[in-house]
Amino acid sequence: MVMDYMLSEEEQMIVETARTIALEKMKPLREYYDEKEEFPWDIVKEFAKADLFATYIPEEYGGFGKGVMGLVLVVEELCKVDGAISLSLAATALGAFPILIAGNEEQKKKYLPDIALGKKIAAFGLTESGAGSDATGMTTTAIKDGDYYILNGAKCFITNGGDAETYTIFAKTNHSRGARGISCFILEKGDIGFSFGKKEKKMGIKASSTRELIFNNCKIHRCRLLGREGQGLMIAQTTLDNSRPGVAAQALGIATGALNEAVNYARKRVQFGQPIASFQAIQHMLAEMATEIEAARALLYASARMIDSGKVKRTSKESAMAKLFCSEVAMKVTINAVQIFGGYGYTKEYPVEKMMRDAKITTLYEGTSQIQKNEIALNLIKEYVTKSKL
Amino acid sequence: MNIIVCIKQVPSVTNVQIDPKTGRLKRDGVESVINPFDEYAIEEGVRIREKVGGKVIVITMGPPQAESALREALSRGADEAFLISDRTFGGADTLATSYTLSSAIKFIGNYDIIICGKQASDGNTAQVGPGVAEMLNIPHVAYVRKIELLSDKSIRVERIMEDGYDLIESPFPTLLTVVKEINNPRIPSLRSKMFSKKAFIRILDAATIGVDAKKIGLNGSPTQVMKIFTPPQRNCGEKFSGDAKDIAVALVRRLSELGIV
């Protein structure tokens, strides 16, 4: 039974459509992609045909205008079946948010409709080898040269890197200004001086490509600048406020998928003459998993609704809470799912070992759990400071 | 190219329950869906429209709740839908249903191809499609597994037979009933689902389509269900065993007895 979260009729259609695609198109191929580590283009086409790329994009740019909640519902539903293939869609949203947040009308009209149609996928380039949690430590530069900017440097761990057509890239336009010296640009695959480095071999999310992006005197016109010079870090932070619920949804989906597998297995697996689901030890594990998942869902949906309401300027705390809680729950639930399966859970015969590997990334990217806590604490204390002044 | 697809809303179960007293299908408390064979009919209609243009009109005869089947058909790519619904249509057998559907099709008019599923998963008669064609006095081909458009006036189809298939050409307008081998129905997209929820569905009642009251509903249904039974299973062929040489000899002997070799 699913609790009632007052989804609108259209939101329910989003869930149904994503579920059908997940079960009919993704499920038969999830082991294949995990093993081959190929980019799942044939499934990306199915997402596109079903309009799943369009949920969060405003109607004027070819989407359905269903906001962060629209994205969360698609990602959660897909990730119940596979948390890696779905990342092609979730990371496209991450790459598209800077354009949605800071793009001018011309930029939005040029890039968003193709993303909504799933014709082009996107990627977000902030992280560098020496600048992870501390984004301000980046060394990629964009030096102004008349009407152009010349980019030099490298980004690493870029999801959809090499497979995406549209990239939102952060680089320093003014070294002396520190955090205010970072700007955001749109890059296109094929721009001269923009190339791809090595593809990472990873523990999980193997169906998702993670590559290095290299800029070698890459010259782009100033019409590619998003917002104004120096607004980059603000754009990145606002993007993460919007996209972290997407990671939370991925985590929640994986956790829900693992719980489904664990309950079904516990009902069938017989030891000591009875199904292991009849043992209290297993029952209590399942009860905790189910309760934590439901709590995670309630927190995530509430955060997504808050973002979409547009009533508050920044939702860093709420986004971080949803991402922190959902990803930690996903890790705990998938570990327990493997535990319930026993030795079988450790083999590739069953999907729970993959779910556990896939879940781990959600506590790491778009800010580790520790960074989420920093974000929550910082905003919490700020709120109290503001209150005490009143 | 204007295509009319006839669909039926059926109970969503594979083992249909039958009321032993009346011999009728039990429909209470069972979820309703589009007859699975009709999904192939809708998909084929939509594919033809995608190739040559025109529109796909989907129709069904049934109670008001059959509207949900029409919306589902719209989400699968149909352009327009009509619900043929009137209390007086109730209790129709295949003859009365064929008459009512053909009257509605005459009312809608301007069609080139009518496509139906080969049969409905509840009644399994496979009579309504051909019945409609007879009443409209147009050609029909049943059990079609492939459709090829020859021109804007005619069509060539493959009809599945037990021992192969027939290649048949037909002028327009024509009626085809299709089998599941014909295509792989698409998953409705989000956009088409949203369109289908908002689409206007016109209701055609008895007065609108101008039917003869004696030929509709229970009054127009001469069929009496005497008994319902499961037909005996057919033999699945003969099996020869032994060593290879004996099998070969036995097989050739049997085939020559049958006049095949």
- A21 vs B187, B193, B194: nearest CB: B187
pLDDT at A1: 64
For the cut 80, the answer to whether the pLDDT of residue B202 exceeds it is yes
How confident is the model over A142-166, as a mean pLDDT? 97
- Which residue type does A171 have? A
Span A215-222, average pLDDT: 98
DSSP-derived pairing of the beta strands B174-178 and B140-149: parallel
pLDDT tens-digit series, residues A289-321: 999 999 999 999 999 999 999 998 899 999 999
Give the CATH number of domain B2-215: 3.40.50.620
Task: Please compute the mean of the pLDDT values over residues A192-215 and round it to a whole number.
Answer: 97
Which of 192-251 (B) contact A at CB < 8 A?
Answer: 193-194, 197
Please give the average per-residue pLDDT across A323-349, as a whole number: 98
Count how many Cα atoms sit within 13 Å of the Cα of residue B9 in the half-sphere of its side chain. 23
Name the residue in chain A with its Cα closest to that of B191: A51
* Closest CA–CA distance from residue A16 to any residue of chain B (Å): 9
Q: What percent of chain B has pLDDT over 70?
A: 95
Q: What per-residue confidence (pLDDT) applies to B123? A: 81
Please indicate whether, in this complex, the C-beta atoms of B190 and A9 are within 8 angstroms of each other. no
Query: How large is the average pLDDT for residues B63-85?
Result: 96
Active site (catalytic) residues of A = 366
The residues spanned by each domain of chain B are 2-215
Which tens digit of pLDDT belongs to each residue from A180-189?
999 999 999 9
Model confidence band, residue A42 (pLDDT cutoffs 50, 70, 90): very high
Any idea which of A349-363, B23-37, B212-226 has the lowest mean pLDDT?
A: B23-37
Residue A196, pLDDT > 90, answer yes
Determine the number of helices (DSSP H) and then strands (DSSP E) in chain B.
7, 11
What pLDDT, on a 0 to 100 scale, did the predictor assign at position A17?
Answer: 97
Report residue B9: phi and psi, to 5°.
-90, 130
Answer whether residue B116 shows pLDDT above 70: yes
> What's the confidence (pLDDT) of residue A317?
97
- Name the DSSP letter for residue B104: H
Q: Which tokens is A80 given?
A: 């119940």
**What CATH architecture does domain A123-229 belong to?**
Beta Barrel (2.40)
Please answer yes or no on whether A49 and B189 come within 8 Å at the CB atom.
yes
CA distance, residue A9 to nearest chain B CA (Å): 9
Cβ under 8 Å to A: B residues 173-192: 186-191
pLDDT confidence of residue A79: 98
* Cβ–Cβ below 8 Å for A13 and B191: no
d(CA B196, nearest CA chain A) in Å: 11
Residue B23 is predicted with a pLDDT of 67
* DSSP string computed for B107-134: HH---SEEEEESS-TTT----HHHHHHH
Q: Does 1.10.357.10 match the CATH number of domain A9-120?
A: no
pLDDT at B29 > cutoff 80:
no
Closest CA to A236 of A180, A284, A274: A180
Q: Angle between the A67-79 and A87-102 helix axes, to the nearest 10 degrees?
A: 170
Residues 6 or more apart from A41 whose CB is under 8 A from it? none
**What are B131's two structure tokens?**
């019945």
Of chain B, the percentage scoring pLDDT greater than 90 comes to 74
Percentage above 70 pLDDT, chain A:
99
Top CATH class of A233-389 equals: mainly alpha
Which amino acid is it at B20? P
Please check whether residue A152 is in contact with residue A144, taking contact to mean a CB–CB distance below 8 angstroms. no
User: Per-residue pLDDT averaged across B10-25, rounded?
Assistant: 71
In chain A, which residues touch B (CB < 8 A)? Answer: 9-10, 13-14, 16-17, 20-21, 24-25, 46, 49-52, 54-55, 64
Tell me the C-alpha distance between A252 and A244, whole Å: 12
Length of chain A: 390
Q: Chain B partners of A64 at a C-beta cutoff of 8 Å?
A: 190-191, 194
Closest Cβ opposite residue B187 in set A14, A20, A64: A20
Closest CB to A50 among B189, B194, B197: B189
CA-to-CA separations, A274 to A277, A278, A336, A340, B174, in angstroms, rounded: 8, 7, 20, 15, 61
A–B interface: beta-carbon pairs under 8 A: 35
Task: Give me the residue from A24, A25, A51 closest to B189, CB to CB.
Answer: A51
**Within 13 Å of residue A55, how many CA atoms lie on the same side as its CB?**
28
Q: What is the pLDDT of residue B41?
A: 97
Running DSSP on this structure, what letter comes out for residue B20?
A: T
Nearest CA to B1 out of B144, B116, B113, B146 is that of: B113
H or E segment and range at residue B99: helix B94-108
**In this structure, what token pair is assigned to residue A188?**
């296109």
Do A9-120 and A123-229 have matching folds? no
Confidence of residue A328 (pLDDT cuts 50, 70, 90): very high
Q: Answer whether A50 sits within 8 Å of B197, measured CB to CB.
A: no
- pLDDT, tens only, A76-129: 999 999 999 999 999 999 999 999 999 999 999 999 999 999 999 999 999 999
Are the C-beta atoms of residues B206 and B86 closer than 8 Å to each other?
yes
Local confidence band at B232 (pLDDT 50, 70, 90 cut-offs): confident
For residue A16, give the chain B residue with the closest CA.
B190
User: Rounded to a whole number, what is the distance in Å from the CA of B72 to chain A's nearest CA?
Assistant: 12
* CA–CA distance, A88 with A252 (Å, rounded to integer): 17
> Would you state the pLDDT for residue B15?
61
CA–centroid distance for A146 within its chain = 36
Q: How far is CA B258 from the centre of its chain?
A: 35
Sign of CA dihedral B206, B207, B212, B218: positive
- Residue A370 has what pLDDT? 98
The answer, yes or no, to whether residue B228 has pLDDT greater than 80, is no
Res A23 pLDDT > 70: yes
CA distance A186 to A236: 13
In sign, the C-alpha dihedral spanning A149, A151, A157, A161 is positive
How close A13 comes to chain B (CA, Å)? Answer: 7
- Amino acid in the structure at residue B99: Y
Report the distance separating Cα A116 and Cα A123, nearest Å: 14
Question: Which residues in chain B have Cβ-Cβ distances shorter than 8 Å to A54?
Answer: 190-191
Is residue A144's pLDDT more than 90?
A: yes
Query: In Å, how far are A36, B12, B180 from B71, measured between CA atoms?
Result: 40, 16, 21
Per-residue pLDDT tens digits for A231-275: 999 999 999 999 999 999 999 999 999 999 999 999 999 999 999
Question: Residue B172 CB: number of other CB atoms within 10 A?
Answer: 17
Residue A390 has pLDDT above 80, yes or no: no
What integer pLDDT is reported at residue B16 of this predicted model?
A: 64
Q: Return the HEC string of chain A.
A: CCCCCCCCHHHHHHHHHHHHHHHHHHHHHHHHHHHHCCCCHHHHHHHHHCCHHHCCCCHHHCCCCCHHHHHHHHHHHHHCCCCCCCHHHHHHHHHHHHHHHHCCHHHHHHHHHHHHCCCCCEEEECCECCECCCHHHCCCEEEEECCEEEEEEEEEEEECCCCCCEEEEEEECCHHHHHHHEEEEEEECCCCCEEEEEECCCCCCCCCCEEEEEEEEEEEEHHHEECCCCCHHHHHHHHHHHHHHHHHHHHHHHHHHHHHHHHHHHHHCEECCEEHHHCHHHHHHHHHHHHHHHHHHHHHHHHHHHHHHCCCCCCHHHHHHHHHHHHHHHHHHHHHHHHHHHHHHHCCCCCHHHHHHHHHHHHCCCCCHHHHHHHHHHHHHHHHHHHHHC
Nearest to B190 among A24, A25, A51 (CB): A51
pLDDT of res. B27 = 67
Separation of CA A95 from chain center: 10
Residue spans of the domains in chain A: they are 9-120, 123-229, 233-389
Phi-psi region of B157 (alpha: psi -120 to 50; beta: other; left: phi over 0): beta
**pLDDT value at position B25?**
67
pLDDT tens track for B87-97: 999 989 999 99
Are the Cβ atoms of A52 and B190 closer than 8 angstroms?
A: yes
Residues with Cβ < 8 Å from A160, sequence gap 6 or more? A87, A88, A91, A92, A95, A121, A122, A123, A208, A209
Helix (H) or strand (E) holding B166: strand B164-171
Q: Would you say A90 and A118 are in contact if contact means Cβ atoms under 8 Å apart? A: no
DSSP 8-state assignment for residue B162: T
Residue of A9, A13, A16 best to disrupt the B interface, most CBs of B under 10 A: A13
> For residue range B142-197, what is the model confidence (pLDDT) as tens digits?
999 999 998 888 999 999 998 899 999 999 999 999 999 999 999 999 999 999 99
Structure confidence at residue B44 as a pLDDT band (50, 70, 90): very high
Average pLDDT of span B53-58? 96
Q: SS3 of B167, please?
A: strand
Flag if A49 and B194 touch (Cβ within 8 Å): no
Q: How far away is chain A from the Cα of B96, in angstroms, using its nearest Cα?
A: 37
